[in-house]
Amino acid sequence: MFELFKLQSRDDVVDDKGPNRWDWALLPLILALFSIFAFAAMQMSRPFSVGEALQVSLDPFYLPYYLLRTILRMFTALGFSLLFSLAFAAIAVKYAAAEKIMIPALDILQSVPILGFQAIAIAPFIALFPGNLLGVECAAIFAIFTSQAWNMAFSLYQSMRTVPSELSEAAHIFRLSGWQRFWRLELPFAMPGLLWNMMMSMSGGWFFLVAAEAISVAGQDIKLPGIGSYIAVAIEAKDGHAIAWAIGAMLTGILFYDQLFFRPLLAWADKFRFEESQGETSQQSWLLDWMRNSSWVRSWTESFWAFLSRGLGWFSVTYDGTSERALKKPMSPLWSRIWDGVLTVVTLLAIFRLISFIHSDVGMSEVVHVIGLAMITLVRVMLLIGLASLVWVPVSVWIGLRPQYSQKVQAIAQFLAAFPVNLMFPLVVFAMVTFNLTPNIWLSPLMVFGTQWYILFNVVAGAATIPNELRLAADNLGLKGWLKWKRVYLPAIFPSYITGAITASGGSWNASIVAEYVTWGKTTLVADGLGSYIKQMTETGDFHRIALGIGIMCIFVTLLNRFFWRKLYLLAEDHIR
Amino acid sequence: MTQNLLIDLHQVAKSFKATDGKSRLILDKVDFQLKEGEIVALLGKSGSGKSTLLRIMAGLIPADKGKVAYRDKAIFGPVAGVAMVFQSFALFPWLTVQQNVELGLEAQGVSADEREERADAVLELIGLAGFGGALPRELSGGMKQRVGIARALVTNPDILLMDEAFSALDVLTGETLRNDMLELWDEDKISTKGILIVSHNIEEAVVMADRIIILSSDPGTIRCEVKIDLPRPRNVESAEVRALIDEVYGLMTMRTTHEASSEVPSTKHLGYRLPDTDVSRIEAILDMVAEAPYNGRADLPQLAEEAELSDEELFPTYEALSLLGFAVLEKGDIILTPLGRKYFEAEQAQKQELFGEQLLMHVPLAAHIRRKLEVEVNGSLSEQPLLELLEEFLKADEAKRVLEVAIEWGRYGEVYEYDYHTGRLKLPEEEGEE
């Protein structure tokens, strides 16, 4: 028995390749996962012609199958998001000229709502695979991808920018090539942040799942088999039971991939934590423990890593510092100025084109109208973030100061952030019709329904890190009531609150598309605002007005970020220093 | 003759661009040679550019002017024959000890079997056999630096650069590791032909080096060189070593007499690099010197031992004391002036007043700020123009630090006040209120 545990240490060579009990436990699990996903993948490609109706049944019996399809889609999108992020960050960090375009572009892409991408992408994807469902499948995956990729790419880029200088110097001294540096230094360093953002991205994917799977863009009405379509059909059919079933299925799905994918990954990635002194409790995963104990898995991973590390030798630097090739040539100031000039000209041209397009095709009065709508949405977003803060900040501080709850609450908040707002439609419509409420006011809470949890989540984390000594000192000085909040708690959580509020604000703009336009069966409730405008225009397929609406939203979100949230963020950073 | 020259620097200069676009000289006219078979230590206070010089030799940053050669070949980047040991260890926390050590070999494309063989050999040599599978975070500081050294040695470098390699360790651990290192060197167990140490620890330099190079500051130039012919291992307690340590202390603190004679006294300069120390440390050292057993005159090495502070912390404090006229430095001793004695004996309120007076008299930056405030209508002033002014002489982060020192001293001397949130300086409230 004891021999078995000794084998846990990492560098022990496993002589005995025979299976142990962990192997027998893992084998069925792995085989089951493989065959299930293979089955689902095969279902993705089948004949389909545009206009053909796909049956989505509300029978709960089909739910596991829909869940499987949805999860496969989400993971495919996650895989592509990961590839995109790796390429994006590597290029942006390496080439200053590219960085100048890529980072602002990412800022803008982040603020484009999912419907915008869908409107553009659906036709080309269907044309790519004529007569096959795979095209629609790709469009859905692309839509999910657009709700996952940006924050991952940004996090990876940020981390790669902030690689500690001494490690970077060490990599230089030992002459790692760019390729080796990426795999040995930059990616490992970025890993914790990247994983964290992958989890957030999965939540983001669920949030817009209905829009991604039940495609109703430009007169199309395609419902791919999946949980999102199931919810859409349930809403059309006014089936409350089905909604409940969908919530259950979603919960199960999240639980599954959390236990089988993210937990093991997080526990494994624990070694990439750079700050060694940080008091964060390390993640635990039963699956990873199983895998580490299984001799099959261990010998397999060992040869896998050995195989991968052979790839590290592909691009070695063959010369050293005595060769002139080692000389780093910075971009000459002339070229950099020319490049800046080109960018300015292109930007000006684009702005000119945009203005002339708007002027001729939509008319200036429409622009003013849309800006007015954006103002309404802006007021809504800010008011609701403020209200949500009033409610959640005290609650989160209370929770954060009690470590026994805080971890559990964080897990719950993460689930709530994933909760598609569409699932609230039956309740909302019922309440509004029964009490005869005005949509312009009472639909607003839906906007922060999914995003308020980011405030909760971040503030809980911030409050949990308030040094115990600070609290003792405050007690010792007899600080009580409001004074204690004003002098201790609020300043301490301010930076994490700002981080949460930024995420919540960005998310709320996107959510406005779903939240300002609510349907339940034949009942449709519309609040005035930019979100409902975009949603209505996408349904009718008016591309000019979609572009206008999305453009205005981009401008509003970007300006708000730049001139409000970033200022607050810098202030918070300065305060805590 | 040039056959055994490992590194040859000729008239090397380096400057950095400040934020306002002007460039400032960090290193100037540096001639330096590292020959086969010697250990050389570079000493200098902060701002002398010793780390920059080391990084130029490592090929990490290019020199602006002059010639940098490794075995007669000009260098443009990190050279295969040069390895470096870092102050903060710079181990990759996600790689095991074995993988960390193999890193340099992996980059060169050495086969896995050979890598393992060579890493094992070095780990055994450095006393880490059996630790190959550990992650760096499981190791103590001393063990981590052993890994750092093993990682440098495994590539069989000609030259080993050590950037304050022992200063992050506690004294005892540092000493042990240093002795182990010297043993490997003296018994020819490693193929390294020359070692260059950057240090702020005078004792360390005297015990290890064949030659000590002392750099002066602003811009960093080579001021003098001390040759040490004593056989190793050297006993710190022996009279010869003690005498050498005293001599180096003397040379290190000589700057005011030596440099000031050649040009305008550098302390009269607005952009003078105020020493990186704080009021409480200045007072603590002043009290120590004033009290028994020193009674106003202390031997610097002895003081260092009793204060339990590093030279890096003490030297700026000595400088502050002499800058403010409370003490003078002479041949490795610190001597209290009558004013310093008066300060020691004064009550708290008087002390602060005296501090303020001396500050205005001897620190041009503080006097400048005070004058500006007195002519300002509302008696307040933004820190921004001051920072910009300092950046004409100093690097941005250094300018910031100097202003912070000036603010702390000024606050203590009640010369002016500072509001952190608005970043504005103002005249103090009328006296007697607080």
CATH number reported for the structural domain that contains residue B138 in this entry: 3.40.50.300
The rounded distance, in Å, linking the Cα atoms of B395 and A238 is: 68
- pLDDT at B19 (0 to 100): 62
Asked if A10 and B96 come within 8 Å (Cβ–Cβ), the reply is: yes
By CA distance, what is A306's nearest residue in B? B112
* Whether B5 contacts chain A with CB within 8 A: no
Instruction: Judge if B399 and B313 occupy the same domain.
Output: yes
- The backbone torsions φ and ψ at residue B318, rounded to the nearest 5 degrees and listed phi first, read -60, -45
Instruction: Judge if B28 and B77 occupy the same domain.
Output: yes
The whole-chain average pLDDT of chain A stands at 81
The whole-number average pLDDT for the span B57-82 is 88
* Whether A10 contacts chain B with CB within 8 A: yes
- pLDDT at B255 (0 to 100): 55
Residue B71, phi-psi category: left (phi > 0), alpha (psi -120 to 50), beta (remainder): left
Amino acid type, A127 = A
Q: Is the pLDDT of residue B161 over 90?
A: yes
Q: Is the pLDDT of residue A12 over 60?
A: no
* Whether A9 contacts chain B with CB within 8 A: yes
Given pLDDT bands bounded at 50, 70 and 90, which one contains residue B259? very low
Instruction: Judge if B248 and B283 occupy the same domain.
Output: no
- pLDDT at B196 (0 to 100): 94
Task: List pLDDT tens digits, range A514-573.
Answer: 888 888 878 888 888 998 998 888 878 777 888 888 888 888 888 888 888 888 888 877
Q: Which of A428-432, B9-13, B36-40, B44-48 has the lowest mean pLDDT?
A: B44-48
- Number of domains chain B contains: 2
Q: Which of A171-175, A219-223, A447-451, B167-171 has the lowest mean pLDDT?
A: A219-223
Q: In this structure, is residue B259 part of a structural domain? A: no
The whole-chain average pLDDT of chain B stands at 85
Q: Is the pLDDT of residue A315 over 60?
A: yes
Q: Which of A409-418, B82-91, B348-357 has the lowest mean pLDDT?
A: A409-418
Instruction: Judge if B304 and B331 occupy the same domain.
Output: yes
Q: In this structure, is residue B257 part of a structural domain? A: no
**Cβ(A112)–Cβ(A99) under 8 Å?**
no
* Domain-wise residue ranges, chain A: 22-317, 336-576
ipTM above 0.90?
no
- pLDDT at B213 (0 to 100): 92
Relative orientation angle of helices A114-128 and A530-540, to the nearest 10 degrees? 20
Torsion of CA A529, A535, A540, A545, to 10 degrees: 60
Question: What is the CB neighbour count within 10 angstroms for residue B303?
Answer: 19
* Whether B58 contacts chain A with CB within 8 A: yes
Instruction: Judge if B213 and B79 occupy the same domain.
Output: yes
The rounded distance, in Å, linking the Cα atoms of B49 and B44 is: 8
Residue (of A424, A397, A414, A561) closest to A484 by Cα position:
A397
- Residues of B in Cβ contact (< 8 Å) with A9: 133
- Token code pair at residue B403: 């202003």
The whole-number average pLDDT for the span A427-435 is 84
Touching A: B residues 149-188, CB under 8 Å: 151, 155
Angle at B87 between CA B81 and CA B89, to 5 degrees: 75
Q: In this structure, is residue B258 part of a structural domain? A: no
Task: List pLDDT tens digits, range A24-58.
Answer: 777 777 777 777 777 777 777 777 776 666 777 88
* Whether A320 contacts chain B with CB within 8 A: yes
The whole-number average pLDDT for the span A305-330 is 72
Please identify, in words, the CATH class of the domain defined by A22-317: mainly alpha
| Domain C-terminal end among B252, B278, B297 | B252
Q: In this structure, is residue B260 part of a structural domain? A: no
**Cβ(B326)–Cβ(B339) under 8 Å?**
yes
Asked if A321 and B78 come within 8 Å (Cβ–Cβ), the reply is: yes
Q: Which of A117-126, A241-250, A276-285 has the lowest mean pLDDT?
A: A276-285
- Residues of B in Cβ contact (< 8 Å) with A170: 84, 86, 90, 92, 103
DSSP A525: E
- Which of the given ranges, A440-454, A533-547, B31-45, has the highest pLDDT on average? B31-45
Share of chain B above pLDDT 70, in %: 94
Asked if B86 and A169 come within 8 Å (Cβ–Cβ), the reply is: yes
> Which one of B55, B82, B84, B103 would you mutate to disrupt binding with A, by most A Cβ within 10 Å of its Cβ?
B103
DSSP A223: E
The rounded distance, in Å, linking the Cα atoms of A69 and A258 is: 17
The whole-number average pLDDT for the span B265-285 is 80
Asked if A271 and B93 come within 8 Å (Cβ–Cβ), the reply is: yes
- What is the distance of C-alpha B297 from the center of its chain? 25
> Which one of B60, B87, B106 would you mutate to disrupt binding with A, by most A Cβ within 10 Å of its Cβ?
B106
The whole-number average pLDDT for the span B287-308 is 86
**Cβ(B105)–Cβ(B80) under 8 Å?**
no
Q: In this structure, is residue B384 part of a structural domain? A: yes
Q: How many residues does chain A have?
A: 577
- pLDDT at A8 (0 to 100): 39
* Whether A275 contacts chain B with CB within 8 A: no
The whole-number average pLDDT for the span A490-510 is 85
**Cβ(B252)–Cβ(B290) under 8 Å?**
no
Q: In this structure, is residue B192 part of a structural domain? A: yes
- Residues of A in Cβ contact (< 8 Å) with B78: 172-175, 320-321, 326
- pLDDT at A576 (0 to 100): 56
Q: In this structure, is residue B173 part of a structural domain? A: yes
**Cβ(B202)–Cβ(B246) under 8 Å?**
no
- Token code pair at residue B167: 């200063």
Asked if A323 and B76 come within 8 Å (Cβ–Cβ), the reply is: yes
- Residues of B in Cβ contact (< 8 Å) with A184: 92, 95, 103
* Whether B59 contacts chain A with CB within 8 A: yes
* Whether A566 contacts chain B with CB within 8 A: no
- Residues of A in Cβ contact (< 8 Å) with B94: 188, 191, 271-272
- Residues of A in Cβ contact (< 8 Å) with B132: 11
Instruction: Judge if B273 and B207 occupy the same domain.
Output: no
Would you state the CATH architecture of domain A336-576?
Answer: Orthogonal Bundle (1.10)
| Domain C-terminal end among B231, B252, B273 | B252
Instruction: Judge if B157 and B119 occupy the same domain.
Output: yes
- pLDDT at A494 (0 to 100): 87
Instruction: Judge if B178 and B274 occupy the same domain.
Output: no
Q: Which of A362-371, A535-544, B125-134, B415-424 has the lowest mean pLDDT?
A: A535-544
Asked if A321 and B80 come within 8 Å (Cβ–Cβ), the reply is: yes
- pLDDT at B98 (0 to 100): 92
> Using CB atoms, which residue from A11, A175, A177 is nearest to B133?
A11
* B219 upstream amide cis, omega within 30 of 0: yes
Instruction: Judge if B245 and B341 occupy the same domain.
Output: no
Instruction: Judge if B247 and B332 occupy the same domain.
Output: no
- pLDDT at A2 (0 to 100): 36
Residue (of B184, B176, B107) closest to B153 by Cα position:
B184
- pLDDT at A389 (0 to 100): 92
Instruction: Judge if B187 and B271 occupy the same domain.
Output: no
- Residues of B in Cβ contact (< 8 Å) with A317: 107
Question: What is the CB neighbour count within 10 angstroms for residue A460?
Answer: 27
Give me the long-range contacts of B327-331 (CB less than 8 A, separation at least 24): B327/B286, B327/B289, B329/B253, B329/B254, B329/B256, B331/B246, B331/B250
Q: Which residues, in sequence order, are bridge partners of residue A30?
A: none
- pLDDT at A387 (0 to 100): 92
Q: Is the pLDDT of residue A118 over 60?
A: yes
Asked if B78 and A309 come within 8 Å (Cβ–Cβ), the reply is: no
Given pLDDT bands bounded at 50, 70 and 90, which one contains residue A506? confident
- pLDDT at A329 (0 to 100): 66
- Residues of A in Cβ contact (< 8 Å) with B133: 9-12
- pLDDT at A488 (0 to 100): 83
- pLDDT at B433 (0 to 100): 40
> Using CB atoms, which residue from A172, A273, A309 is nearest to B78?
A172
Q: Is the pLDDT of residue A115 over 90?
A: no
* Whether B214 contacts chain A with CB within 8 A: no
The rounded distance, in Å, linking the Cα atoms of A80 and A99 is: 21
CATH topology agreement for domains A22-317 and A336-576:
yes
Q: Is the pLDDT of residue A9 over 60?
A: no
Q: In this structure, is residue B48 part of a structural domain? A: yes
Give the domain extent around B227.
Answer: 2-252
| Domain C-terminal end among B252, B287, B318 | B252
Asked if B76 and A321 come within 8 Å (Cβ–Cβ), the reply is: yes
Claim: this prediction has a pTM higher than 0.80 = no
Instruction: Judge if B227 and B290 occupy the same domain.
Output: no
Higher pLDDT, B22 or B93: B93
Q: Are strands B65-70 and B5-17 parallel, antiparallel or unpaired?
A: antiparallel
* Whether A328 contacts chain B with CB within 8 A: yes
